A and B are shown apart, each in its own frame.
Chain A
Amino acid sequence: MSQAPSLISIQKTVWDGKLPLEIVLAPSESRSYDQTDPYLIACSRLAYLPSLLPRLRAFFSPSLIDPNSHSHDGWFSFEGVPLKWHYPIGLLYDLYAEADPASSKGSKSDEAGETASGPHSWRLTVHFNDWPHEELVQLDAEGVVINDAFINSVKEADFLRNGTAKGIMTLSKEDSSGLWEAVQDVDLPSFQRISNILLPTQPFRSVPIRFFLPLPPDSGAPSLKLVQSPLSPSISTSQPQTIGTALHTLLPHLFPSRRTPVLAKPVLHGAVVPMSAPIEEVVRSSAYGDGWAYIVIRMMG
């Protein structure tokens, strides 16, 4: 543990994490059906998909059958599944891409989760028509809806950490919009300045973590089960709550051991999280921009 990297350096690595995306235009919306050139980009794991829409709309505009759509009409799907834009891209990737997560047993460069994960980019489809109202909340031209969703999420994390959401609610208007801008721009220094106002110096009251259990695609909607329960940062005066103790408490059948992943493993930012990692440290170093650690449970074998 003494050689463990500092929380700050882990946070920097997380914020540097990028995913290669290959985005194609929905064939039904393209003048050249499936022959449209894809848009390639290395995208921050912490970003949100709608941030790509203006440049995608511009890139694909010569190919669009319907020239009247706006960039905020855009939505994404992966293998036919509409992707919820209020989740960061890295979480969507961990949920759906089924790439093998990096683990500490791999080479050192694997630690960021991305650098050595292979040549495959994640292939997504963008649509500018036929918004799936049954599945996705519609975006607006000014970006108010996504900003609202982000702040609601920040507020929840703040409430758990402090037992009240007064921190975020008393944040100045500049800082409140600055926080959202910092996440959109993946600007860690600006983010740290504002999030330090929100983060308590004393231990968290509860730790904002959500666990996602992906269900097989044929199990019917909804395809994800979300597990959230108030998690204390420590289990006794001397023992911190670890990823392993939390999982063993919440999902005892999947995690019969507190120390070793037997049937399933926890994945965050494309990497397997050590079972011994204290949950508060995980959140302080590796939370997404809204203050939450979203951990995907992946079955083994």
Chain B
Amino acid sequence: MASLTPSRPSQEPLMGFPFLKPDEFDYGCRVLCDRFHAWQISSSDTGLSIRFVHQQVTSDSMLKISRHIENIGVHGEENALVYEPENLQELQLEDDSEHDPETLIRAIEPNASLQVDYDIALSPTYQVPVLYFTLRWINHKGPVLGIDVVYQYLVPDEYRKQLKSVGIIGGISFDYHPITGAPTFFVHPCNTADAMRHIAGGQDVTPETYLVIWLGLVGHCVGLHMPSELFATEAGARTTERLGQQ
């Protein structure tokens, strides 16, 4: 196991790119988290909150980002939790009888909102960050939120088809949280290293830049958008430019 050496000069380019070591991941998360908090003081509410967690016992580091999606119930049919029949056929994940769209819409409180908790941890297998996330109701006791809700509320249209076409049930599936052991969604990390290489190969990438690129690559697929002003520094500008080119 890699030991954490706080004195390591971690703004240096990653030697093992596109892979991350635990101490590099740890450092990148801390820097990103600090940057967000510094920026947040002078900014309007983004609906995001960020926390860095380091477990002493297991020496696991994790970046926790929460996001609110407000007023799920009030926008009428367009945005309410409607289960499109074609989605049901494609996914076939849960018993159809539980998802009568009408009962569901009726059941939602007007001021109900969703909270998405994103946890970013380092995969000991793939040695890249993995995005875990869970959804829960705020102000509402609704049905258990399944993967259909993920596709409806978190995945932007342009990624939907692509995400559903890979793997057995798509690029998003279920796992157990590496630290809490609770069920969670996650984005498959097996292509992350190749994608990172494709985007930033041949350039000097620091731990923080790595995470910023990674958030653009993986976070965007499931509705995790960091405010772009956050990266309006020299290093950040380079990164967002690159992301725009994809």
The interface of chain A, by Cβ under 8 A from chain B, is 70, 84, 86, 133-138, 140-142, 144-145, 147-149, 151-152, 155-156, 159-160, 165, 169, 208, 221-226, 228-230, 249-250
- CA A196 to CA B190, docked complex, whole Å: 21
- A152 touches which one: B93, B127, B188 (CB < 8 A)? B188
CB-defined contacts of B183 to chain A, threshold 8 Å: 133-138
- CA A135 to CA B1, docked complex, whole Å: 28
Of B65-73, B172-180, B216-224, the stretch lying at the interface with chain A is B172-180
- CA A208 to CA B126, docked complex, whole Å: 12
CB-defined contacts of A250 to chain B, threshold 8 Å: 1
- B181 touches which one: A145, A152, A221 (CB < 8 A)? A221
Chain B, residue nearest A226 (CB): B178
- CA A141 to CA B93, docked complex, whole Å: 8
CB-defined contacts of A151 to chain B, threshold 8 Å: 167-168
The interface of chain B, by Cβ under 8 A from chain A, is 1, 58, 92-95, 124-127, 144, 167-169, 173-176, 178-183, 188, 190
B92 touches A144 (CB 8 A): yes
B167 touches A221 (CB 8 A): no
B169 touches A160 (CB 8 A): no
A148 touches B168 (CB 8 A): yes
B176 touches A84 (CB 8 A): yes
Chain A, residue nearest B126 (CB): A159
- B93 touches which one: A144, A147, A156 (CB < 8 A)? A144
A134 touches B182 (CB 8 A): yes
Most chain A Cβ neighbours within 10 Å, of B125, B169, B174, B180: B125
Chain B, residue nearest A225 (CB): B58
A295 → chain B closest CB, angstroms: 15
B1 touches A159 (CB 8 A): no
* Tally of contacts, chain A with chain B, CB under 8 A: 75
- CA A160 to CA B124, docked complex, whole Å: 10
CB-defined contacts of B93 to chain A, threshold 8 Å: 140, 144-145
B186 → chain A closest CB, angstroms: 9
B182 touches A135 (CB 8 A): yes
- CA A156 to CA B130, docked complex, whole Å: 13
CB-defined contacts of B169 to chain A, threshold 8 Å: 144-145, 148
A229 touches B180 (CB 8 A): no
B190 touches A155 (CB 8 A): yes
A230 touches B124 (CB 8 A): yes
Given A135-B183, A148-B167, A151-B167, decide whether A159 and B144 contact each other with a Cβ distance below 8 A.
no
B144 touches A133 (CB 8 A): yes
Chain B, residue nearest A131 (CB): B144
- CA A159 to CA B95, docked complex, whole Å: 34
CB-defined contacts of A137 to chain B, threshold 8 Å: 174-176, 183
B168 touches A147 (CB 8 A): yes
- CA A226 to CA B1, docked complex, whole Å: 13
CB-defined contacts of A133 to chain B, threshold 8 Å: 144, 183
Given A138-B94, A225-B58, decide whether A148 and B174 contact each other with a Cβ distance below 8 A.
yes
B92 touches A142 (CB 8 A): yes
Chain B, residue nearest A151 (CB): B168
CB-defined contacts of B181 to chain A, threshold 8 Å: 135, 221-224
CB-defined contacts of A70 to chain B, threshold 8 Å: 95
